Structure 1
Amino acid sequence: MHARKYRLTAGAAVVAAAGALAVALPAAHAAPDEQGAGRGHGGAGRTVDLQVLAINDLHGALEPPTGTNGQVIHEHEDGTTEAIAAGGVQYLATGLREARQGESRSVTVAAGDLIGATPLLSALFHDEPTIEALNELEMDVAGVGNHEFDEGWRELIRLQEGGCHPEDGCYVEGREFEGSDFPYLAANVVHEDTGEPILDPYTIQNLNGVKVGFIGVTLEGTADIVTQEGIQGLEFLDEVETINRYTAELRRRGVNAVVALIHEGGYPASPAYNADCDVDGGDLSGPIVDIARRTDAGVDALVTGHTHQPYVCTVPDPTGRDRLVTSAASNGRLFTELNMKYDYRTRDIVRTSVEGTNRVVHRDQEPAPDLTQLIADWNELAAPVSGEPIGWISEDIQGRNAGTPEFPLGDLIADAQLAHARELDPETDLALMNPGGVRADLTYAASGSEGDGVVTYGEGFTVQPFSNTVNLLDLTGEQLLTVLREQVSGTNEAAPKILQPSEGLNYTLDLTRSGADRIVADSVTVGGAPLDPAATYRVAVNSFLAGGGDGFGTLADGANPLVGSDDMVALADYLTANSTADAPLAAPAADRITVVQ
């Protein structure tokens, strides 16, 4: 582990991390003479190197994630791309530790959603395994994201302060959960009655005599996408106003070097982690662009998240000077390395010195033994749950191996998500499931100690391992038709991605046509009635699709969002409710899409 120094929070001293991480951040503002310091990096001994290593949206992906959630896109010089398998905390630990080597002033940070919407291994234990893994990764400070509130703000406090779960207790006899070794920051999450943040708004890291302030905020719209029960009595304030307030407070405390950890993000023009971003921010869109343009020039860099995208882009600050805005995708597939110069005279980061790079968490490197053991220990505890029966089937239910645009298991999952959505909103009309999210078949033959036809929780989790949530949103009929056309046009024209439909949606897919015309518009019906372009339909999709994943950008424009439970919970509940040993579930007919070839 790297050397622990001390850090000062807003009003309290806490243990701080200073160590072997080297990350460079762009200096966000300058004292009147900083420009001269930037040109020459000051005189001899006047500047020192700083490193910031950053992750975001880990979502408890302790084991190497599978499918596209476990890949990053690399862009070659000739413009071609390739998918690289990436992620897994035992490899992330190795990458971070190697990056820190030789660095005397390094800090590791995160921009929210480290927990929540997590895989079985973490979710079973209320994300204690992820917090323990982050401790081993030597996390120094993290901002909160919306998913940190999945189990309520009091549970978030427990995960920071420690103690066994109030209902489930301790998971290992004689060992109490110790909590996080790092502070969570929640500057814009305040109690309605007092206006005070529920956690520290910022922390000051002392890195061998160099003080750097970190402010953490989540998106102002968090209340609209989390369960209301967990945030009762809380208010989520404007991100920019909050950051600017605490930047001024840090300045009054003599801290001019400031980094914002913002759980809100953007969308780069290219999906490649190493794509070159336009110097004026033109290649980045989404909420973070406006936030970056309005955030106090005293903030030297913005580490962001939420959209699960990889980017290192430049967006001008309010004074017109370039400032880095970064994101390391999700699931621990990347980490961002920021490197910069700190000027002792101005007590600030030299903006022109800040450089950022997204580093791939390759799986061909040596895994960290301590993280490997941590995963093995929790897997042993998870085994009894993994083998729990959740339903019965009368035959194999094929997924993508069926080789048809619509396949039985896709329909079953869509029906399960529709059933879950209707528990939240009875007016939900339909559900759509991305084909790439179906990772395996459900097989009738027995495996292990189970009997023929029994579906275990572990088998269900193999089918849906991504721990997406079931999200509800409103689409007009015109938008819904556009979504259907996006299956076979744009980025999906050459290799269509046919969304798996729930009951209630029917249409014709004419493969003799080209592009968007392959969706026969006048064939689309919802609930047996022709699609009305002016009507509003309530649609359930998983969180991956809700963010515009797989080329379905129109879904990201859906209105009135509501976030439900984990999609695996929805599948397990549906199988349990609709099958028994005496009345097992048969494979759906997969006849909701009429295919013309």
Structure 2
Amino acid sequence: MKFTLIQQNDTHGCLELHEELFWDSKGPILKKVGGYSRICKYVKDVKKENNNVLFFDGGDLFHGTLPLLASRGNAIIPLLEKMPLDGFVPGNWDFAYGKEQLQSLTNNLSFPSIACNLKDQDTGRPLLKPYIVKEMQGVKVGVIGLTYPYVDITMPPSFSKGMIFSTGVDEVQDYVEKLKAEVDIIVLLSHMGLPLDAKLVNLVNGIDIVLSGHSHDRVVKPIILNNTYIVQAGSSASFLGRLDITFEDDKVTEVKYELVTVDETFEEDEEVKEMVNSILAQYETERSTIVGETKVILHRSTLEEAPMDKLITDAYLSSFDCDVAFSHGWRYGPPMAVGPLTLYDLHTIIPANPELFTLELDGVALLEALENNLEQVFSSEPFDQKGGYILRSSNLMMTYKPNNPKGNRIQSLQIAGENIDLKKVYKIVGGGGQLFKMHEKKKVYQDIHAIDLICSYLKEKKPYDVKVGMDILSV
């Protein structure tokens, strides 16, 4: 018996063909890829060829570009009705509009939403179905949902209000035991991130396949741990993960896997193409308004620092009399090519459009915050890894050892060209509630939002360029 699993994850509102970053011997290059019309046509064609095909979304479906933010996720609902999806697990950004809106969005989907580690705080009951069972010709597949467990810790408070999150280890174990007697194959549809998924499958026996999400990893060869296959399909609707599975004598006997790059050669589903064009047409003003230009590829595909985020922090620092500027180490957002930047591009670079704040911290508190961030990125315990990349910054230079113990990674730190003084009070500029969350009460919000500020900066400093050399280095 053979069947096929296809996954997309972390699409973040990338509805159309867009630039994607790839690495070759010359460094980063861009290629046009992605879009819902190409994904839809590809999956529909596979399903026509074979009845035993399931297609799942691994989360961060309702957030990431202007049409989704402006409509609180609603704009994509009619489009998703045309996509041949069989299930969905929410990602951390799918909670951006609060509990009631998440429930409204998922209630309007034509496919089930699942998460075993998410409860309603008022009732203590699961907010969504913990799992689903899909019966195909000759094989039953149990699919357990596992959402991001740290929404209440890493995201603004409004994201998690009224909900309870857990790591899901106990819940997954319970549902695996329950499903063993009911199904032939157990699949975990997860938005935990690759390191956490790898740890989980060593704690829980009996999971056959993990369709991983959240960490935007382009897995080109399945990771096999504890007899479990783990895969993940990049981000930004640029890739699909395809598993062709042979099942014989009550066990998986062969797995063929491909990370599918959805490039320009893929045919488009014409109905979905028209729907995407209709959605985007509502934002023609933003798409046609040129706000500046860049001399470098803007991307956030590197761990320590990236040009897309340097644009943000440079703009912040230029507008306030501060010692250092910070922005969160987000992973979302497709790259932008050298050339003009539109207002729509800025809404893709920083879709949350946070309000700017200033914050005063002494050297001890600042050093502690930076060490805590490094722990969240590099912790040797996967379940202590939270958030995305290293905090983005301007006017800061740092060397660090990623494998050192917690609190002892930073080797050198300079602010505004001088070694950090633990007794000095530093003035910081940043944006939003996700950044320096532990110091929220000390923040002074400035009644200006990131996109307006970046627009002004690009107008004044055009074209944008970044200096040669790295400010943050592992040593």
TM-score normalized with structure 2 length: 0.71
Write the distance in 2 (CA, Å) between the matches of 1:383 and 1:361.
25
Identify the residue that residue 14 of structure 2 maps to in structure 1: 61
Write the distance in 1 (CA, Å) between the matches of 2:101 and 2:267.
34
Write the distance in 2 (CA, Å) between the matches of 1:398 and 1:361.
26
Match of 1:364 among 254, 265, 268: 265
Instruction: Output one character per residue of 1:455-487: Cα deviation in whole Å (capped at 9) or x when no partner.
Output: xxx82233563456689997659869x9xxxxx
Corresponding residue SS for 2:460: coil
Write the distance in 2 (CA, Å) between the matches of 1:81 and 1:193.
49
Match of 1:413 among 312, 321, 344: 312
Match of 2:208 among 297, 300, 316: 300
Match of 2:89 among 143, 147, 151: 143
Q: Does 1:241 align with 2:170?
A: yes
Write the distance in 1 (CA, Å) between the matches of 2:143 and 2:308.
46
Instruction: Output one character per residue of 1:551-580: Cα deviation in whole Å (capped at 9) or x when no partner.
Output: xxxx9xx99699xxxxxx94324268x79x
Corresponding residue SS for 1:61: coil
Percent of residue pairs identical? 19
Contact in 2 for aligned 1:188/1:242 (Cα 8 Å): yes
Identify the residue that residue 39 of structure 2 maps to in structure 1: 92
Write the distance in 2 (CA, Å) between the matches of 1:262 and 1:194.
24
Identify the residue that residue 227 of structure 1 maps to in structure 2: 156
Write the distance in 1 (CA, Å) between the matches of 2:196 and 2:339.
38
Contact in 2 for aligned 1:474/1:538 (Cα 8 Å): no
1:435-584 equivalent positions in 2, closer than 5 A: 439=337, 459-463=342-346, 465-467=348-350, 502=394, 505=395, 524-526=414-416, 530-532=419-421, 570-574=449-453
| Residues 315 and 74 of structure 1, relative CA distance in 2, 3 Å threshold | farther
Larger radius of gyration: 1
Write the distance in 2 (CA, Å) between the matches of 1:372 and 1:351.
37
Amino acid at match of 2:15: L
Contact in 2 for aligned 1:316/1:323 (Cα 8 Å): yes
Write the distance in 1 (CA, Å) between the matches of 2:309 and 2:146.
37
Write the distance in 1 (CA, Å) between the matches of 2:158 and 2:327.
27
1:231-380 equivalent positions in 2, closer than 5 A: 231-252=160-181, 254-266=182-194, 286-297=195-206, 299-311=207-219, 312-317=221-226, 322-343=227-248, 348=250, 350-380=251-281
Identify the residue that residue 325 of structure 2 maps to in structure 1: 430
Corresponding residue SS for 1:185: coil
| Residues 151 and 500 of structure 1, relative CA distance in 2, 3 Å threshold | closer
Contact in 2 for aligned 1:328/1:334 (Cα 8 Å): yes
| Residues 307 and 478 of structure 1, relative CA distance in 2, 3 Å threshold | closer
Identify the residue that residue 6 of structure 1 maps to in structure 2: none
| Residues 462 and 575 of structure 1, relative CA distance in 2, 3 Å threshold | closer
Amino acid at match of 1:587: K
Amino acid at match of 1:316: L
Identify the residue that residue 444 of structure 2 maps to in structure 1: none
Kindly tell me the number of residue pairs found equivalent between the two proteins. 414
Deviation (angstroms), 1:358: 1.3
Instruction: Output one character per residue of 1:156-175: Cα deviation in whole Å (capped at 9) or x when no partner.
Output: 111122xxxxxxxxxxxxxx
Amino acid at match of 2:451: A
Amino acid at match of 1:53: I
1:577-596 equivalent positions in 2, closer than 5 A: 586-587=460-461
Instruction: Output one character per residue of 1:422-458: Cα deviation in whole Å (capped at 9) or x when no partner.
Output: 9xxxx99422699x9665667xxxxxxxxxxxxxxx8
| Residues 474 and 107 of structure 1, relative CA distance in 2, 3 Å threshold | farther
| Residues 542 and 246 of structure 1, relative CA distance in 2, 3 Å threshold | farther
Identify the residue that residue 29 of structure 1 maps to in structure 2: none
Match of 1:128 among 67, 74, 87: 74
Amino acid at match of 1:315: I
Amino acid at match of 1:334: F
Write the distance in 2 (CA, Å) between the matches of 1:148 and 1:587.
35
Contact in 1 for aligned 2:308/2:349 (Cα 8 Å): no
Identify the residue that residue 136 of structure 2 maps to in structure 1: 207
| Residues 474 and 184 of structure 1, relative CA distance in 2, 3 Å threshold | farther
| Residues 291 and 536 of structure 1, relative CA distance in 2, 3 Å threshold | farther
TM-score normalized with structure 1 length: 0.58
Contact in 2 for aligned 1:301/1:323 (Cα 8 Å): yes
Corresponding residue SS for 2:49: coil
Amino acid at match of 1:150: A
| Residues 241 and 460 of structure 1, relative CA distance in 2, 3 Å threshold | same
Deviation (angstroms), 1:313: 2.7
Contact in 2 for aligned 1:264/1:287 (Cα 8 Å): yes
Write the distance in 2 (CA, Å) between the matches of 1:541 and 1:159.
31
Contact in 2 for aligned 1:477/1:531 (Cα 8 Å): no
Corresponding residue SS for 1:138: coil
Identify the residue that residue 119 of structure 1 maps to in structure 2: 65
Deviation (angstroms), 1:542: 10
Contact in 2 for aligned 1:57/1:330 (Cα 8 Å): yes
Amino acid at match of 2:215: T
What are the ranges of 5 or more consecutive residues in structure 1 without an aligned counterpart?
1-47, 162-178, 267-285, 402-407, 443-457, 483-498, 509-520, 547-554, 563-568
| Residues 300 and 478 of structure 1, relative CA distance in 2, 3 Å threshold | closer
Instruction: Output one character per residue of 1:225-265: Cα deviation in whole Å (capped at 9) or x when no partner.
Output: 2221232221111222121111222235x224210001022
Amino acid at match of 2:241: T
Corresponding residue SS for 1:132: helix
Write the distance in 2 (CA, Å) between the matches of 1:591 and 1:85.
23
Contact in 1 for aligned 2:118/2:163 (Cα 8 Å): yes
Write the distance in 2 (CA, Å) between the matches of 1:440 and 1:82.
11
Write the distance in 2 (CA, Å) between the matches of 1:90 and 1:385.
22
Instruction: Output one character per residue of 1:492-545: Cα deviation in whole Å (capped at 9) or x when no partner.
Output: xxxxxxx9964xx2679xxxxxxxxxxxx999334x8532589998988899xx
Contact in 2 for aligned 1:56/1:328 (Cα 8 Å): yes
- Root mean square deviation of aligned Cα: 5.0
Contact in 2 for aligned 1:476/1:536 (Cα 8 Å): no
What are the ranges of 5 or more consecutive residues in structure 2 without an aligned counterpart?
298-306, 358-364, 375-390, 399-410, 441-447, 470-475
| Residues 61 and 593 of structure 1, relative CA distance in 2, 3 Å threshold | closer
Write the distance in 1 (CA, Å) between the matches of 2:294 and 2:242.
43
| Residues 542 and 377 of structure 1, relative CA distance in 2, 3 Å threshold | same
Identify the residue that residue 158 of structure 1 maps to in structure 2: 104
Contact in 2 for aligned 1:417/1:541 (Cα 8 Å): yes
Deviation (angstroms), 1:187: 1.2
Identify the residue that residue 303 of structure 2 maps to in structure 1: none
Write the distance in 2 (CA, Å) between the matches of 1:143 and 1:121.
21
Identify the residue that residue 450 of structure 1 maps to in structure 2: none
Write the distance in 2 (CA, Å) between the matches of 1:99 and 1:64.
21
